[in-house]
Amino acid sequence: MSSTTAALARIIRRGRGERAGPVERCDLCREPVAPGHRHLLDTARHEVRCACRACALLFSPGGASEGHYRLVPRRRLRLSSVPTDALGVPVGLAFFVRGADGAVVAHYPSPAGATQWEVDEQAWCDVVGARPELGGLEADVEALLVNTARGASHHWLVPIDDCFRLVAVVRREWKGLSGGSTVWPEIERFFDELTERH
């Protein structure tokens, strides 16, 4: 099992309240990690890594280490409706991530992973004008997560590991051409279980 697959499996288990194997370990130093541990984003590979307390502190803002690991924040905010039509989203389930260069990339979960495309810069500026909370989105590690599919209305500012977890849910549950009978209830359950954290 690849490290990415193993990390996604752990994120799914935690989201469902399932026990992991014998002991979960830090993906950097192999020390055991506690439930609710932090994650790092490997920006070179765009993969989430589990981090023990010491490694999380090492890569926290102002920490001693720099490089391609970024500590994933915990902030999660429910937003009132965000006008995303002008962003060119062809589906109702998507997340938007601002890169370090300022470009915003839209992703939508699919059975093959997350499909992505670059968002028009002015369209993104208009959305931020309507929802100033998005102006403080941390590059690479926070996202605007939107679900308007099938009459839903969920708009969140979330850490990137929540988005990876949603992608894993879609990949795990999708069956056939239309998704099957379990994927949409599981997506709705995912959003129902999100809670705000400041």
- Where do the structural domains in the chain lie, given as residue ranges? 3-71, 77-192
92-149 residue pLDDT tens: 999 999 999 999 999 998 888 888 989 999 999 999 999 999 999 999 999 999 999 9
Dihedral-angle region of residue 179 (phi above 0 means left; psi in -120 to 50 means alpha; beta otherwise): left
- The pLDDT, as a whole number, for residue 141 is 96
Q: How confident is the model at residue 1 (pLDDT cuts 50, 70, 90)?
A: very low
pLDDT above 70 as % of the chain: 86
Q: Tell me if 85 sits within 8 A of 92, measured CB to CB.
A: no
Mean pLDDT of the chain: 87
- Give pLDDT, residue 60: 83
| Position 53 pLDDT exceeds 90 | yes
Range in 38-52, 60-74, 92-106, 143-157 the model is least confident about: 60-74
Instruction: Output the pLDDT for position 28.
Output: 93
Q: What are the angstrom distances between the C-alpha of 118 and each of 76, 114, 133?
A: 23, 13, 21
pLDDT of 54 above 90 = yes
The pair of three-digit structure tokens given for residue 98, joined into one six-digit string: 């601002």
